[in-house]
A and B are shown apart, each in its own frame.
Chain A
Amino acid sequence: MDGALHRDHIRSELGGFFGQGHAEGTVTTGTFAYDEDTLRGLVKDWLAIADHYRESMRDASKMAQVVGAGTDFASAAHANAASHSGKSYLSYLQQNRDYCTQQAQLCQDTLDSYLGVEHTNVSEINKSGPKAGI
């Protein structure tokens, strides 16, 4: 998924939230007041975006299989350039994925603090035990 698609996806994930007037603060003051359901929704949305970045990383893994068309210098150089490009793309995706996960964690921490419960890791929620299936 390229940058434009990601932006569109983020807007579609978060657009509804901002459009429904849940935010009671303004960007200039930097304060917002969220209710519990909104915070839970934000955690879910940020994680969904992070999952989309991970999906793009899976596609990017195919770049590792690129080899030159022949054994000549130009082919090798072209394959090498493609490999570097793939690494840069992967790094970009990783950073964005981490950012989304961090935002989800911030929302989760806020929710946990408000509820007065122990902080939980967003990637390991519901640690009561293994469940059937995946």
Chain B
Amino acid sequence: MRRLMSLVALPLCLALAAGCTTRSEGEPAPATTGVETPGSSATDGSEPSADLPSDGAPAVPDPLDTTGFQQDPCQALTRDQSDALDVGPAGKRNDGPLGNGCEWANAETRGQAVIEFLDDDPRGLSALYRANKDGKWAYFEELTPIEGYPAVARDLQDDRNEGYCSIVIGVTDEVAFETFLHLSQQNVGKKDPCEVATQVAGMALQTMKRGA
């Protein structure tokens, strides 16, 4: 009889306990291990880490909303600016593996400027500093902030003496864009490609500030 009472009482207690429980809406999420290092997430478009900047990257003091330019990077240089650079009146879309891009080129002089967002990697400049820690770049140089935004020159191939330079500018802690430059043949050896790339990035930032 006592055993029978126990069998009846147990489900009753469970039912009462369940009735006292309140439900709440929520989304399941993986538990953090506590050992994950900042910037260790894959470049899969996941949510940005709250720990940015990381790996020695500088913070972006005045984040810039570049959403519109991320959708259409060809708006980053005005016609006057591209005319001054002698790369034709209009850019041509040239999207890259990490975001949308636009190319301005002069087929006669071989001068070329590309502005490409790297926003599919949500780590901004921190991703480049991380790669630098791993010794992946052929060159990596911190530049004086451009229009107030931190920038680095870096590439896997050091062909600056042939007129090429690639710089990356952080517009927020999570979003960066690349300015790739190839000097016209007449200016190879006469101008510093990284200086000219910095000028182009400055023009683009001025445009973005006006359009933000």
B97 with A62: CB separation less than 8 A: yes
Q: Is B111 on the interface with A (CB-CB < 8 A)? A: yes
Q: A123 with B163: in contact, given A67-B130, A94-B157, A133-B86 (CB under 8 Å)?
A: yes
Q: Is A19 on the interface with B (CB-CB < 8 A)? A: no
The residue of chain B having its C-beta at the shortest distance from the C-beta of A131 within the complex is: B186
Using a Cβ–Cβ cut-off of 8 Å, how many residues does chain A contribute to the interface with B?
36
A127 with B156: CB separation less than 8 A: no
B36 with A70: CB separation less than 8 A: yes
The residue of chain B having its C-beta at the shortest distance from the C-beta of A133 within the complex is: B86
B111 with A67: CB separation less than 8 A: no
Which residues 104-128 in A have Cβ within 8 Å of B in the complex? 123-128
New A-B pairs, 16, CB < 8 Å, besides A69-B41, A134-B113 = A47-B110, A58-B96, A58-B114, A60-B156, A61-B166, A65-B130, A67-B40, A67-B43, A68-B40, A68-B42, A130-B186, A133-B85, A133-B109, A134-B85, A134-B86, A134-B183
The residue of chain A having its C-beta at the shortest distance from the C-beta of B99 within the complex is: A62
A134 with B127: CB separation less than 8 A: no
Q: A67 with B187: in contact, given A47-B110, A58-B114, A133-B111 (CB under 8 Å)?
A: no
Q: Is A66 on the interface with B (CB-CB < 8 A)? A: yes
A-B contact count, CB below 8 Å?
Answer: 115
Q: Is B174 on the interface with A (CB-CB < 8 A)? A: no
Q: Could you tell me which A residues sit within 8 Å of B by CB distance? A: 47-48, 51, 54-55, 57-71, 75, 83, 90, 94, 123-134
Of the A-B pairs whose beta carbons lie under 8 Å apart in the complex, a sample of 22, sorted by A's number, is A51-B182, A57-B157, A58-B96, A58-B114, A59-B96, A61-B166, A62-B98, A62-B118, A66-B42, A68-B42, A69-B41, A126-B185, A126-B186, A127-B186, A128-B186, A129-B186, A130-B187, A130-B190, A131-B109, A133-B85, A133-B86, A134-B196
Q: Is B37 on the interface with A (CB-CB < 8 A)? A: yes
B137 with A59: CB separation less than 8 A: no
Chain B window 29-41, contacts with chain A (Cβ cutoff 8 Å), 1 for yes, 0 for no: 0000101110111
Q: Return chain A residues, CB-CB under 8 Å to B196.
A: 134
